[in-house]
Structure 1
Amino acid sequence: MARRKKKILITGAAGFVGLHLIEQLRNINHQLFLTTRKKKFTAPGVKVYYGKLEDKQFCQKILKDIDEVYYLAGYKKNIAYHTKYPFEFFDGNVKPLMQFLAALGKSKVKKVVYLSSAIVNYMEAQGSNDGYILGKYANEVAIKAFNQQSKIPVVIVRSAAIYGPGDNFDPKTANFIPAIIDRISKSNNSLTIWGKGIRKMQFVYIDDLVSNLLAAMRGKKLLYIVGNAKSYTVNQVVAKILKICGKPLKIEHDLSKPDKPTNKIIFKNAVKPKVNLEKGLEKAVDYYIQKYV
């Protein structure tokens, strides 16, 4: 007798992580349901709901008869925007989850995986003026309260900085790695980076994150912290991308911009990441060249 296909919902499905997760779940042959605000987004053979999670009735509709949920929805640009408009990004991340959890508690969903940020690790000790991170922190508090009250487990997956093919390379809103790839591609003589470039960072390749999201759904813990343990300075990452691009640009340091503090993250992966930074950067650069050059 054939096993019943699971009905799986992905919120924020049109985003960077969502598109990669869809492909992996297609391979496993589940019945997928997607949510997005992007009216032009389509996915052949998949039910797509267009709407806002802030809408209580919309949340009730999308959760009907669903077995599992990957909550990837989030209002995000980059740290410059998040710190300039902190309440906008806080509100844009907290309101949708509150309505979703209220509807979830009355549903028959078996389990939810929620994508958060590894930077939340340091919120209580250091605080933050990043509205996106503040929103993620508040959402984790809400999820923990929900888990105490509900029989539906919501698993938190805190992710290191994600990168890879399909990332956002818009220079106005891109995060560190895609922004550097874009700037190097468009530069001919020199590249300016903030501070001394000594801040250390940790990353996770997109496919490794998706593998951990899938494993978290199967796992028994309520919290995973996903990423590669090895850290790299800003200078090291820039040097690797320059080498891959074959561009011997002169590096200039803007010392009027201070280096951000380094936070060493202790990861608790559901599965061990497989892609190292060098290989991941090669794939990200190849994607950028094919799509934008």
Structure 2
Amino acid sequence: MITPNLQQYFEGKRVLATGGAGFIGSHLVEMLVELGAKVTVPVRKTTSLAYLSNVAADVAIEEADLFDRVQVDRVMKKGHDVVMHLAAAKGGGIAHSMDHHGSLFRDNMLSFINVLDSAREAVIPRVLVCSSACVYPRDARVPAPEEDGVRDAPEPTNAGYGWSKRMEEFMSLSYVQEFGMNIGIARPFNAYGPRDDFFKESNHVIPGLITRLLGGENPFTVWGSGRQTRSFVYATDFAQGLLMTCANEKVTGPLNIGSDEEISIAELAGMIVDLSGVNATIVLDPSKPDGQPRRACDTSRAKAELGFEAQVSFRDGLRQTIDWYVREKRFRESATDSPLAVL
């Protein structure tokens, strides 16, 4: 959904989108092109551009490693009106996250510091930072209001990723105060949709369940009690929320971007079986961790301050995701192997 306000804000603007070749980033870049923005996407040598094939003629690609400040500065100094920072390490599911707290924290912070300091020195007029609902503690209220993002330590099973995103928020707010930067912060909940990461080693719960079920797993095993809940946001709604957060420069502090639908993991598994048309028996494995018991999005501030509401129902979005997975094998095989292009 392209609104007149977004058209007015982005048309003709030079936008640098880190992570723009990845899952959410490619959806965002397509929307930016539709809005008339002049988009540049920094990528590594190994990054696939398959997800940008629909807009390849309208997007400038710059080779740059976000871990290398010199390379970041080179791209930043070419002149941009807006920097949208989506690049992030692959958090993956619970097992992957628990095994890589240190590297997830390190990789997110190194790239973020390079991008933010480079944007500050280049005097970029507007910066959009993509945080994560992983900042929320285990005992956050349900649904979680924005202020609960700092009430306690992040959920332990995703501590490395959660702390990195909380530090990104802190650093952003501090740079606003100390240096007068103009920064918007979006705090999206669990993303899903076409172009998601379907690789076994690093995928999240929805692509993980889809690949295992359609790969023939039966009984179909689901980690934990099945009672744990999540709020999922479809890829295009996610990207729309980022655009709206960026364009509304009067909004301060992190804003939740998500849906008010709260889905249990057992319900999710049942929907995937139903929509896939596969005859499989669901088995819960309570010996495995649940992760955060409940994670639900308080959408009230985004509705009030941005006018943002998710447009795609969870069941419809899940159907589209499964259809894409079945139909687009060639995209999965050529997907990026860069650890900094997954949003």
| Shorter-chain TM-score tier | over 0.9
Q: Quote the offset at 1:108 in angstroms.
A: 3.1
Q: Quote the offset at 1:15 in angstroms.
A: 1.1
Match of 1:142 among 171, 184, 200: 171
Partner of 2:81: 67
CA separation of 1:106/1:188 partners in 2, compared to 1, >3 Å: closer, same or farther?
Answer: closer
Q: Quote the offset at 1:177 in angstroms.
A: 0.6
Partner of 2:285: 254
Aligned partners of 2:13, 2:126: CA distance in 1, in Å? Answer: 12
Q: Quote the offset at 1:114 in angstroms.
A: 0.9
Q: Quote the offset at 1:100 in angstroms.
A: 1.8
CA separation of 1:233/1:38 partners in 2, compared to 1, >3 Å: closer, same or farther?
Answer: farther
Residue ranges of structure 1 left out of the alignment (5+ in a row):
none
Residue ranges of structure 2 left out of the alignment (5+ in a row):
1-9, 50-55, 138-149, 331-343
Q: Quote the offset at 1:28 in angstroms.
A: 1.3
Match of 1:57 among 70, 77, 86: 70
Aligned partners of 2:238, 2:257: CA distance in 1, in Å? Answer: 7
Q: Quote the offset at 1:204 in angstroms.
A: 0.3
Q: State the number of aligned residues.
A: 291
1:5 and 2:12 are equivalent in the alignment? yes
Aligned partners of 1:151, 1:49: CA distance in 2, in Å? Answer: 28
CA separation of 1:41/1:186 partners in 2, compared to 1, >3 Å: closer, same or farther?
Answer: closer
What amino acid does structure 2 have at the position aligned with 1:221? Answer: V
CA deviations over 1:30-52 (Å, ceiling 9, x no partner): 21111122445443342212122
What amino acid does structure 1 have at the position aligned with 2:31? Answer: Q
Q: Quote the offset at 1:188 in angstroms.
A: 5.5
Instruction: Using the TM superposition, name which of 255-264 and 59-68 deviates more.
Output: 255-264
CA deviations over 1:266-292 (Å, ceiling 9, x no partner): 233331111010000010011011023
Q: Quote the offset at 1:140 in angstroms.
A: 1.2
Q: Quote the offset at 1:129 in angstroms.
A: 5.0
Q: Describe the SS at the equivalent of 1:139.
A: helix
CA separation of 1:221/1:4 partners in 2, compared to 1, >3 Å: closer, same or farther?
Answer: closer
Partner of 2:323: 286
8 Å CA contact retained: 2:11, 2:36: no
Match of 1:30 among 37, 40, 49: 37
What amino acid does structure 2 have at the position aligned with 1:20? Answer: H
TM-score with structure 2 length normalisation? Answer: 0.80
Aligned partners of 2:103, 2:172: CA distance in 1, in Å? Answer: 21
Q: Quote the offset at 1:94 in angstroms.
A: 0.4
CA separation of 1:9/1:247 partners in 2, compared to 1, >3 Å: closer, same or farther?
Answer: same
Aligned partners of 1:50, 1:38: CA distance in 2, in Å? Answer: 6
Aligned partners of 1:174, 1:283: CA distance in 2, in Å? Answer: 18
Partner of 2:255: 224
Q: Quote the offset at 1:124 in angstroms.
A: 4.1
TM-score with structure 1 length normalisation? Answer: 0.93
Partner of 1:272: 309
User: Superposed, which structure 2 residues align to 1:179-218 within 5 Å?
Assistant: 179-187=208-216, 189-218=218-247
Q: Describe the SS at the equivalent of 1:165.
A: coil
Partner of 1:169: 198
Q: Percent identity?
A: 26
Q: Quote the offset at 1:85 in angstroms.
A: 2.1
If asked which structure has higher relative contact order (CA below 8 Å, sep 6+), I would say 2
CA deviations over 1:232-260 (Å, ceiling 9, x no partner): 11111111111111113111121222433
Partner of 2:128: 113
What amino acid does structure 1 have at the position aligned with 2:76? Answer: L
8 Å CA contact retained: 2:135, 2:166: yes
8 Å CA contact retained: 2:134, 2:161: no
Aligned partners of 1:53, 1:229: CA distance in 2, in Å? Answer: 34
Q: Quote the offset at 1:133 in angstroms.
A: 1.6
Q: Describe the SS at the equivalent of 1:26.
A: helix
Partner of 1:125: 152
Q: Describe the SS at the equivalent of 1:125.
A: coil
Aligned partners of 2:151, 2:96: CA distance in 1, in Å? Answer: 22
8 Å CA contact retained: 1:67, 1:108: no
CA deviations over 1:43-93 (Å, ceiling 9, x no partner): 334221212223222222222220011101111141322221211111100
Partner of 1:243: 274
